[in-house]
Amino acid sequence: MWDPQGLHGFTNNGTIWPSPIGLSASWGAAAEPTVTIPGATPPTPQVERLSDEQVRAELRRLNTMKMDCGTQARQALAAQQSASAVGRASEAEAHGQLLWTNMKCLEQANQGLLRLRNQITRDQLPLFSLEDGFRQEYRQGLQSHLSTLQQVGKQLADPSAFTAETFAKQMESFRRQRETFRSHYIRLLNDPETKGLATTLFQAGDLLIGSAQVWVRQAKAEAEIAELTPNGGSSPRLSRAQAVREAAVVERARQWELAQGLILQATTLTAATR
């Protein structure tokens, strides 16, 4: 008996109208039926193994994402609380929405780290420890940075023990070392756990580096004054040199005082983050 159903189509008064052949069509063999056994554990899908470099890159991406979202969440929370305190309801609501968005982002980063840990092989687990070690290394670097500043702070108590020239060389060496440190740990500079400490240390360093240049300017003015004084009397050049010296003395004293305060603040922050 002739089947009215045409090949991959249907008939209409004897005419066969074709229909498309699906990409999953099989020729020459029937598709094997899928048998489900009650209580059986489904097969675990095979996941392509990530290379060590891929794991490192994903770790960096997820940790950076976690750090940025955490920072923005804290900022949104602070802004929401400030807006609520002064009765700006609509502004507080907007910051609340931003807070929620960043908290979801933070959750996604944490989930991503968990998935990555579950995906990697046993021999790649130390890569997570290496990332933690990198952060620990950064913390130790900040502590070393603080120790250097504390030593400089002690020197400032008796500036007669060194000259403007030697201090300028010391600060130039310190500046180069600091820039190398910042470049190496650039992705951790905004880490919420250490950002306050790092910012305080770098501000103190900026003041000290700047004060070295001010002291050099003061020393040059004093040398010019010494050169002009034996000639006796006053001159516009001598007056300018004296003005430069006095301004430099005041500015350097202000910079050293601010730097000492920041060093003390960093010492307190270090104790709090341990």
Q: Compute how many other C-beta atoms are within 10 angstroms of the C-beta atom of residue 184.
A: 13
Work out the pLDDT band at 35, boundaries 50, 70, 90.
very low
- pLDDT recorded at residue 133: 65
What pTM, to 2 d.p., does this model score?
Answer: 0.56
Residues 146, 142: Cα–Cα separation, whole Å: 6
The per-residue pLDDT for range 181-218, each reduced to its tens digit, is 999 888 888 888 788 999 999 999 999 999 999 999 99
The per-residue pLDDT for range 122-137, each reduced to its tens digit, is 888 777 766 666 777 8
Q: What backbone phi and psi angles, to 5 degrees, belong to 185? A: -110, 30
> Has residue 103 got a pLDDT over 60?
yes
- pLDDT recorded at residue 212: 96
> Has residue 153 got a pLDDT over 60?
yes
The per-residue pLDDT for range 51-69, each reduced to its tens digit, is 888 887 888 788 778 777 8
Q: Helix crossing, 89-119 with 52-85: angle to 10°?
A: 160
